[in-house]
Amino acid sequence: MRPLRVYVDTSVVGGCCDHEFAAWSNGLMKDFELGRLQPVISDLVLEEVHSAPEEVLEKIADLRELPVEWVATSPEAETLAREYIHQSILTPNYFSDALHIAIATIAKVDVLVSWNFRHIVHYDKIRLFNAVNLQQGYGQLEIRSPKEVTYYDL
């Protein structure tokens, strides 16, 4: 059986260096190293970490050494992200959060992981994102925190 394809947003990479989230984010990275899960990373993540602290950039460098599936922002993803905003799931100030959801949806990943509980890993918002996805002809997207996805025994 193939490993789950897991879209990792920027908060998870940053979480590797944050005391509150480090155990679970690093556990997820260990699962990627062991081949238990397949990391899916977008160019948006690379753009968002561009000016991050060195320790976060090192985590991105570590990911680059793994068999990562790279996905790109596309006009299709931007259109879907704008639809999330048009449907008032998120405001225009959080377009990049909407874009993460759209990229992961279009890539048909098994799950998107995030520590963003306000705009992404939020029960009501997940339902609304998926309603838009279905209206627009896409599948539903599982959205979870790394704590719910990692196999790594901390």
Residue 98 · residue 89 · CB < 8 Å: yes
pLDDT in tens, the chain (154 residues): 889 999 999 999 999 999 999 999 999 999 999 999 999 999 999 999 988 888 889 999 998 899 999 999 999 999 999 999 999 999 999 999 999 999 999 999 999 999 999 999 999 999 999 999 999 999 999 999 999 999 866 5
- Residue 103 parent element (H or E): helix 95-106
| Predicted local distance difference test score (pLDDT) of residue 52 | 86
Residue 132 placed within a domain: yes
DSSP for 35-72, please give it.
TSEEEEEEHHHHHHTTTS-HHHHHHHHHHHTS-PEEE-
Residue 144 placed within a domain: yes
Cα distance between residue 125 and residue 90, in whole Å: 8
Residue 105 · residue 139 · CB < 8 Å: yes
Contacts of 123 (CB under 8 A, 6+ apart): none
Residue 140 placed within a domain: yes
| Predicted local distance difference test score (pLDDT) of residue 1 | 82
Cα distance between residue 148 and residue 133, in whole Å: 23
Write down the pTM of the prediction: 0.94
Structure tokens at 60: 């991105």
Number of domains in the chain: 1
C-alpha torsion 144→148→153→154, nearest 10: 80
| Predicted local distance difference test score (pLDDT) of residue 50 | 86
- Which domain range does residue 27 map to? 4-149
| Predicted local distance difference test score (pLDDT) of residue 151 | 83
Residue 154 placed within a domain: no
| Predicted local distance difference test score (pLDDT) of residue 153 | 63
Residue 134 placed within a domain: yes
Structure tokens at 29: 């990275």
| Predicted local distance difference test score (pLDDT) of residue 53 | 87
Residue 47 placed within a domain: yes
Cα distance between residue 49 and residue 149, in whole Å: 23
Output the domain CATH number for residue 23. Answer: 3.40.50.1010
Structure tokens at 90: 């998120």
Residue 9 placed within a domain: yes
